[in-house]
């Protein structure tokens, strides 16, 4: 399956996959492939960083559900629905100006910074639950090819760990996971 190109539709598809994973997760304290994180931390990361990022750049405030520490399912559902409403409604035309990024259309910013994060962390949540998840191969290739030129910047930010060595003939998902510091063969550590 190839993901839609338009940001609102891409978010809808990526968030739907993450929602399915959230709803099927039962062991919220299971370790995730991100060092020191649990399945709950994966959800908390997504619902915590993006609202502040969006508010700083646009002044828009997203609806907030319960704390992911108390109810990660509710936290994710409310958050995901709020992001989709922004992308589908008139708020999508809100000027986006972030002090570290500059100006761009709001959907472009969401598509560049947030949707890929949900996409990549989908694998983390699946792995925490011992589930195998096949990510969209075209989007995996697009992301890893787009990140490779800024690899040094990404790694120096502290947001990405060291790359994991993978075979030269690896598929696109394995290439992406190795690039972002995940061992693609470890599920439910």
Instruction: List the domain boundaries for the chain.
Output: 7-179
What is the enclosing helix (H) or strand (E) of 176? helix 172-179
Q: In the numeric block, which tokens belong to residue 82?
A: 């709020």
Residues with Cβ within 8 Å of 154's Cβ and at least 6 positions away in sequence, in order, are: 147, 160
With a cut of 50, say whether residue 189 has pLDDT above it: no
Per the DSSP assignment, residues forming a β-bridge with 98 are: 102
| 8 A C-beta contact, residue 68 and residue 40 | yes
pLDDT in tens, 21-70: 999 999 999 999 998 999 999 999 999 999 999 999 999 999 999 999 99
| 8 A C-beta contact, residue 30 and residue 131 | no
* Residues 40/49/160/117 CA torsion (nearest 10 deg): 80
On average, the pLDDT of the chain sits at 93
Backbone dihedral angles phi then psi of residue 96, each to the nearest 5 degrees: -110, 115
Which CATH class for the 7-179 domain? mainly alpha
Residues with Cβ within 8 Å of 54's Cβ and at least 6 positions away in sequence, in order, are: 60, 62, 86
Predicted TM-score (pTM) of the model is 0.94
Q: If you write DSSP's letter for every residue of 39-95 in order, what string do you get?
A: HHHHHHHHHHHHHHHHHHHH-------S-TTT-HHHHHHHHHHHHHHHHHSGGGGSE
pLDDT in tens, 120-158: 999 999 999 988 899 999 999 999 999 888 888 888 877
């Amino acid at each position: 399956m190839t993901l839609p190109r338009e940001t609102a539709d891409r978010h809808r598809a990526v968030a739907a996959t993450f929602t399915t994973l959230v709803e099927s997760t039962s062991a919220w304290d299971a370790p995730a492939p991100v060092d020191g994180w649990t399945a709950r931390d994966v959800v908390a990361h997504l619902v915590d960083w993006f609202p502040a990022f969006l508010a700083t750049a646009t002044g828009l405030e997203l609806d907030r559900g319960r704390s992911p520490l108390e109810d990660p399912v509710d936290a994710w559902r409310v958050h995901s629905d709020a992001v989709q409403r922004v992308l589908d409604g008139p708020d999508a035309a809100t000027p986006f100006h972030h002090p570290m990024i500059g100006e761009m259309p709001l959907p472009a910013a969401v598509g560049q910074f947030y949707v890929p994060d949900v996409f990549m962390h989908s694998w983390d949540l699946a792995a925490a639950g011992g589930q195998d998840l096949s990510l969209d191969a075209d989007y995996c290739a697009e992301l890893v090819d787009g990140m490779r030129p800024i690899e040094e910047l990404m790694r120096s930010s502290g947001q990405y760990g060291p790359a994991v060595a993978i075979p030269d003939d690896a598929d696109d998902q394995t290439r992406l996971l190795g690039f972002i510091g995940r061992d693609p063969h470890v599920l439910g550590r």
